């Protein structure tokens, strides 16, 4: 056995104690849940295809059985001295009709409906593929630091815009820089809450911030000459390049809650993409969402104000003020 003379007896005892009490970490279920959802959707389509195949085979079997029953009826209806001839004729007819599944597949009465069904399935598959291309609903990547929105926004009631201040100022909500994290974590250097969802140590996760920014938690000051580096967060919500979306417009003018697009973030340990963020999803929102006309941004819509006051119009949606025009998001 290799010797470790640099280790003290206490350090060796600590290593042995760790080895004796080590337990495997709990794997993150964020991506597993997404995969399970995809599997369920895939399995449901498979079951539908199997069901249609069984139905087609049953129809073919019923048609074949109907032919046999028809011939049997002819035999039963025949006179006694003609039953033998009727039986021979029935056997001949069944032989000539090519009593097999192959003969059914050559029958236009079967193939035309079957072809229509196959076409519908193929078209449905192509449509699902092209509409879901590039969409990431349910996407929940593992992050370099086990950051829980549930702990911050849910339990501790931190306002979303405290960290994502860009949401009320411009196009992007922004991922907060480390100095924003340090506003709180200069003082909070330990985690003593409930066990984290992935079995990780909360205090160790906090100290990852210190390692990136060069903070000495014992001396409570920045280390001189310490190398700092950004945390490489994995982006969750990512719109196509040809789509323009402005957070400030929705937050300030539209008074849209964060949860409308991002879902119940305050309940999420691992952040995931809640909505499909597709064009149809956005357009439906603009068609259904009423404009809050008490907001001074809409003062110049005098005609709408007059129509609302007179009762001529019951509501004004985003669509009515141009929210579904192509150039609003694509220009």
Distances (CA, A) of 223 to 175, 177, 216, 226, 228: 25, 18, 6, 5, 10
pLDDT confidence bin for 104, thresholds 50/70/90: low
- pLDDT-derived band of residue 236, with 50, 70 and 90 as boundaries? very high
For the ranges 42-51, 189-198, 228-237, the lowest mean pLDDT is seen at: 42-51
Q: What percent of the chain has pLDDT over 70?
A: 88
Domain boundaries, the chain: 30-132, 143-274, 278-331
What pLDDT does residue 1 have?
43
- Report, as an integer, the average pLDDT of 287-292: 90
Comparing 74-83, 120-129, 131-140, which segment has the lowest mean pLDDT? 74-83
Confidence of residue 53 (pLDDT cuts 50, 70, 90): confident
The answer to whether residue 50 scores a pLDDT higher than 90 is no
pLDDT tops 70 at residue 246: yes
- On whether the CB atoms of residues 259 and 149 are closer than 8 A, the answer is no
Q: For 182-194, what is each residue's pLDDT tens digit?
A: 999 999 999 998 8
User: Which residue in 284, 299, 280, 178 sits closest to 229, CA to CA?
Assistant: 178
């Amino acid at each position: 056995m290799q010797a470790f003379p640099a280790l003290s007896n206490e350090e060796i005892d600590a290593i042995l104690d760790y080895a004796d009490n080590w337990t495997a970490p709990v794997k993150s279920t964020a991506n597993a849940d997404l995969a399970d959802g995809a599997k369920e959707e895939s399995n449901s389509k498979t079951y539908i295809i199997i069901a249609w195949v069984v139905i087609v085979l049953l129809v073919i079997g019923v048609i074949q059985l109907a032919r046999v029953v028809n011939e049997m009826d002819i035999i039963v209806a025949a006179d006694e001295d003609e039953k033998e001839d009727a039986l021979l004729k029935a056997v001949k007819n069944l032989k000539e009709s090519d009593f097999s599944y192959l003969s059914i597949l050559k029958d236009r009465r079967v193939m035309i409906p079957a072809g229509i069904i196959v076409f519908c399935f193929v078209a449905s598959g192509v449509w699902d593929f092209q509409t879901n291309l590039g969409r990431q609903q349910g996407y929940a990547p593992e992050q370099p630091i086990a950051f829980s929105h549930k702990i911050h926004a849910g339990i501790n009631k931190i306002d979303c815009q405290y960290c994502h201040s860009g949401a009320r100022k411009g196009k992007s909500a922004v991922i907060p820089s480390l100095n924003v994290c340090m506003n709180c974590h200069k003082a909070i250097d330990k985690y003593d809450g409930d066990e984290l969802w992935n079995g990780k140590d909360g205090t160790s996760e906090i100290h990852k911030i210190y390692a990136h920014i060069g903070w000495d938690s014992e001396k409570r000051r920045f280390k001189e000459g310490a190398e700092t580096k950004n945390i490489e967060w994995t982006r969750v919500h990512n719109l196509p390049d040809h789509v323009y979306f402005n957070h400030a417009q929705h937050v300030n003018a539209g008074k849209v809650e964060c949860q409308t697009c991002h879902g119940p973030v305050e309940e999420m340990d691992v952040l995931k993409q809640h909505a499909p963020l597709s064009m149809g999803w956005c357009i439906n929102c603009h068609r259904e969402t009423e404009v809050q006309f008490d907001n001074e941004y809409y003062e110049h819509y005098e005609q709408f104000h007059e129509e609302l006051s007179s009762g001529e119009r019951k509501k004004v949606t985003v669509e009515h003020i141009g929210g579904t025009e192509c150039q609003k998001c694509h220009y």
